[in-house]
């Protein structure tokens, strides 16, 4: 090739170019597949329950399929197979609560709509052969329209949306089938039993084999959100007020500074978990009537707190330069750091109390300290060397921090309320099973006194 | 009864009590039904499209049912009826985008999984009669587990979640059916065509009869959220700074003060609408590739703005007393009112620009004014009669307002970006179809100069 005449240069240039472009597209595909593999691996490593869930779905489906495959071969009922398989695929969800919600909705809606469909058939039959199909059409129209409209009611949407769909589905199927009523009863019976078997299989798998409880997920999500907020405050206290203002270290992109954003966006997740948790039986430390709604309240207050943090974060990055030039006054800097770390400790204590399912103890003390220092900051401001601009910046900073302390107090109140509603016990009580009125109980009182 | 002897007093007391309790429970039921009726009426009046949607669902279902009812009677194919009806019930959603998403996912997943299922059948047949069911079981297990796991990938979850379910469903059904391959091909063909007919019917209804476009909903939601923020600012400017501080009017519960909360909670809705909007064809003023993602960006910035408003709102209610006692300095009060009303006007202009699909014009001017006044407030603060506490409060108030102006500017930038991406036109251009470089164009430049 090197000896090729000069005139074929262009051609010789094209071939390597072509080879190169083929190679590079292979490399691109390789890169993409590698990236996809990394994504999948990360999903699996981040939460191994995802892998377990996938295997569970495969297992349930295979068991039901094989069972019915064998049965269908012997009895020749190719069609009845279908409903059990279909039910398993459609009903199985990641959390036990979601599976229970869909399963129960499906069974009950199938039962009710089946009965109503049979009734509609009988009623329509009174109108003679010609009128029957017209009447059935009218019934289907009215029922579908009414049930569809009812799905716009928020309560129905939250608890019975899937049931409403299955209700319309079953009613229409029963109504439009060309069978006589006698055949239909047998068919309905058959269908209901296969649906019930499918649902039972899903529920059994989702509850008995490595269950993922929506309630527990909600519990952990709320606790970890409080932890995220705590680490924001502790990070700001330590890395910003204690170090950064000395060393001019660049904090941009620090992970603790952006964690609150995930808290701001967690409402939809919390709502859906709370909806599903209501369908779950008691599990672990959670009773059947565990106050799941209170978690939503805590979540809402945590988001309010995260909002204040966003304001603080915005203020910090907008005024970074100014503070560096002005040289933050030492006593104010320390006070701000204390406010941050104390309210951070309070939030961390709330998170750990939720996790351990015990009433929070040290929170009130930490928040009391933060508030006390906060009111002192106001008095500190005007030192002799302070310029007007400085005063303004300090004042805003102090007020933003006080707002965070304030909203952390609201969160603390909601967690105390949760502890009362769910009858959380102190570690000692939980062990002995008896409520003690000495020891820790008293120290709790002292802590509460500090708060008032 | 009045003449009854005294001894029967108790009995005579019981009967009215019983009557009363029956009556009261009837009244309670009556009240509940009345409340439910009111809820339904409100749902219908608030958005008549809900009623239309319900009627549409009823209509589609009736047409498909009757069509198949008649066909089933003549051809005896009781079972094929089912798939069309089932598809209509399951695929029809409120917005056209959601219906298209489910419909296309269903058809394509059915096609792919059907073909793969047939292939699996042929492959398993090679293993002989005994090995066949074992091999098919293994295939079902592997495929169900893998596809279920893939649903944890966020991109797949957002765009192909329903398709994944249908894929597992169809593959399992084809695999476990006890039919021979020759019969299966006929069955698969039949099933695919009924599913396709059902999907076509849903799509036709959702696009042709009073369509509710997810894209348009998103467009309007984002615009109305900006309006809500604007009315908060205008309300605070007028009712708080201009009037309340004079008249001590009670603002608690004022609707403009809590509107921002709905903005904070609109993320989930925006995300799902944007997901569905991608499936919609061009409609009205929206092209097929309308930049729906940019709306999510605007929405996120609007929520950031709403966060700052929450801080301001918290500050206002926490310091209400202090400001009343201190008597807000007149020039600062006016300045704050101007900042509020100017940034409110800017947000209202952004909302109206989005609605009219034209580039925002007056925004930069309003925001420039607000920022200018904001920087002046800082100089105003120290008047001779001002106490330290006053200075602190003023400073914080001014900084909170400046933060709102700042975040409104971010929203404005994102809207300008949207206008560029979606090629929004000025009213005159839209009319003449030609880009003019005089008149309004120049005044826009002037406005932008004010901003810098």
Distance from CA of A222 to the nearest CA of B (A): 17
Q: Mean pLDDT score of chain B, rounded to an integer?
A: 82
pLDDT-based confidence at residue A437 (cuts at 50, 70, 90): very low
What are the tens digits of pLDDT across the range B32-76? 999 989 999 999 999 999 999 999 999 999 988 877 766 655 554
Q: Which two tokens stand for residue B191?
A: 């099933």
> CB neighbours (10 Å) of residue B122?
11
pLDDT at residue B298 is higher than 80? yes
Provide the pLDDT for residue A252. 63
Residue of A nearest to B170 (CA): A86
Per DSSP, what are the bridge partners of residue B283?
A: B286
B123 touches chain A (CB under 8 A): no
Q: Taking a C-beta distance cutoff of 8 angstroms, is the pair B349, B325 a contact?
A: no
What are the tens digits of pLDDT across the range B116-141? 998 888 888 888 877 888 888 899 99
CA proximity to A354, closest of A188, A229, A256: A229
CA A65 – CA A71 distance, rounded (Å): 10
Element (H, E) at A154: helix A154-176
Provide the pLDDT for residue B191. 81
Parse chain B into domains and list their residue ranges.
35-208, 214-245+253-425
- ipTM confidence score: 0.84
Q: Mean pLDDT score of chain A, rounded to an integer?
A: 82
Least confident of A287-296, B190-199, B387-396: B387-396
Q: Which of A53, A149, A165 sits opposite B90 (nearest CB)?
A: A165
Provide the pLDDT for residue B450. 30
Percent of chain A with pLDDT over 90: 45
Q: What is the mean pLDDT of residues B77-93?
A: 80
Residues A223, A227, A231: CA angle, nearest 5 degrees: 175
Task: Say how many CA atoms lie within 13 Å of A401 toward its Cβ.
Answer: 35
User: Contact B176/A148, CB-based, under 8 Å?
Assistant: no
pLDDT-based confidence at residue A190 (cuts at 50, 70, 90): confident
Helix axes A96-125, A78-91, angle to 10 degrees: 140
Provide the pLDDT for residue B374. 84
CA proximity to A283, closest of A219, A353, A199, A213: A213
Provide the pLDDT for residue B9. 47
Sign for the CA dihedral angle at B88, A104, A294, A261 comes to negative
Hey, which of A59-63, A295-299, B23-27, B154-158 has the most confident mean pLDDT? A295-299
Hey, which of A11-25, A109-123, A292-306, B371-385 has the most confident mean pLDDT? A292-306
User: Contact A57/B82, CB-based, under 8 Å?
Assistant: no
Q: Which of A144, A304, A392 sits opposite B395 (nearest CB)?
A: A392
Name the percent of chain B in helix, strand, coil, to the closest 5: 85, 0, 15
Per DSSP, what are the bridge partners of residue A286?
A: A283
Provide the pLDDT for residue A49. 94
Element (H, E) at B168: helix B154-176
DSSP A244: I
Provide the pLDDT for residue B181. 65
Instruction: Enter the CATH code of domain B214-245+253-425.
Output: 1.20.58.220
pLDDT at residue B172 is higher than 60? yes
Provide the pLDDT for residue A14. 63
> CB neighbours (10 Å) of residue B434?
9
pLDDT at residue A250 is higher than 80? no
Q: Mind giving me the DSSP string for B345-409?
A: HHHHHHHHHHHHTS---SHHHHHHHHHHHHHHHHHH---TT--HHHHHHHHHHHHHHHHHHHHHH
Q: Mind giving me the DSSP string for A284-333?
A: TTB-TT--HHHHHHHHHHHHHHHHHHHHHHHHHHHHHHHHHHH---HHHH
Per DSSP, what are the bridge partners of residue A283?
A: A286
Distance from CA of A51 to the nearest CA of B (A): 7
User: Contact B90/A392, CB-based, under 8 Å?
Assistant: no
3-class state of residue A77 by DSSP:
coil
pLDDT at residue B292 is higher than 90? yes
Cα A308–chain centre separation: 22
User: Contact A43/B146, CB-based, under 8 Å?
Assistant: no
What are the tens digits of pLDDT across the range A370-399? 988 888 876 665 555 566 667 777 778 888
pLDDT-based confidence at residue A440 (cuts at 50, 70, 90): very low
List CB contacts (< 8 A) between B179 and chain A: 78
Q: Which of A57, A173, A378 sits opposite B148 (nearest CB)?
A: A57
- Specify the pTM: 0.84
């Amino acid at each position: 090739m090197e000896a090729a005449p000069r005139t074929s240069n262009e051609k010789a240039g094209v071939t390597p170019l072509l080879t190169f472009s083929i190679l590079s597209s292979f490399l691109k595909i390789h890169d993409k597949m590698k990236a996809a593999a990394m994504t999948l691996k990360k999903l699996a490593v981040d939460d191994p329950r995802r892998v377990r869930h996938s295997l569970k779905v495969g297992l349930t489906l295979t068991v039901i399929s094989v069972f019915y495959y064998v049965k269908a071969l012997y009895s020749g009922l190719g069609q009845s197979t279908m409903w059990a398989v279909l039910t398993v695929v459609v009903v199985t969800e990641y959390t036990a609560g979601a599976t229970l919600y869909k399963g129960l909705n499906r069974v009950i809606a199938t039962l009710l709509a089946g009965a109503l469909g049979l009734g509609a058939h009988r009623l329509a039959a009174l109108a003679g052969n010609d009128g029957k199909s017209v009447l059935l059409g009218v019934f289907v129209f009215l029922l579908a329209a009414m049930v569809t409209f009812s799905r716009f009611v928020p309560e129905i949407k939250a608890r019975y949306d899937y049931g409403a769909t299955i209700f319309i589905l079953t009613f229409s199927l029963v109504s439009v089938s060309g069978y006589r009523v006698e055949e239909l009863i047998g068919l309905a019976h058959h269908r209901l039993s296969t649906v019930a078997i499918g649902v039972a299989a899903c529920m059994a798998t989702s509850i008995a084999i490595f269950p993922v409880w929506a309630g527990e997920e909600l519990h952990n999500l709320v606790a970890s959100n409080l932890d995220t907020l705590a680490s924001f405050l502790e990070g700001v206290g330590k890395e910003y007020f204690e170090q950064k203002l000395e060393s001019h270290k660049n904090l941009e992109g620090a992970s603790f500074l952006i964690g609150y954003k995930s808290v701001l966006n967690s409402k939809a997740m919390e709502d859906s978990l709370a909806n599903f948790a209501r369908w779950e039986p008691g599990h672990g430390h959670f009773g059947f009537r565990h106050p799941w709604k209170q978690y939503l309240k805590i979540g809402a207050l945590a988001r309010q707190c995260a909002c204040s943090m966003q304001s603080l974060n915005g203020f910090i990055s907008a005024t970074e330069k100014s503070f560096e030039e002005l040289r933050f006054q030492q006593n104010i800097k320390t006070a701000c750091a204390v406010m941050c770390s104390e309210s951070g400790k309070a939030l961390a204590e709330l998170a750990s109390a939720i996790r351990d399912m015990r009433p929070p103890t040290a929170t009130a003390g930490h928040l009391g300290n933060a508030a006390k220092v906060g009111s002192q900051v106001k008095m500190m401001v005007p030192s002799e060397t302070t310029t007007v601009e400085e005063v303004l910046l300090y004042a805003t900073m102090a007020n933003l921090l006080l707002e965070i302390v304030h909203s952390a107090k609201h969160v603390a109140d909601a967690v105390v309320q949760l502890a009362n509603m769910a009858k959380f016990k102190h570690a000692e009580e939980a062990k002995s099973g008896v409520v003690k009125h000495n020891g820790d109980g008293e120290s709790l009182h002292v802590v509460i006194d500090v708060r008032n």
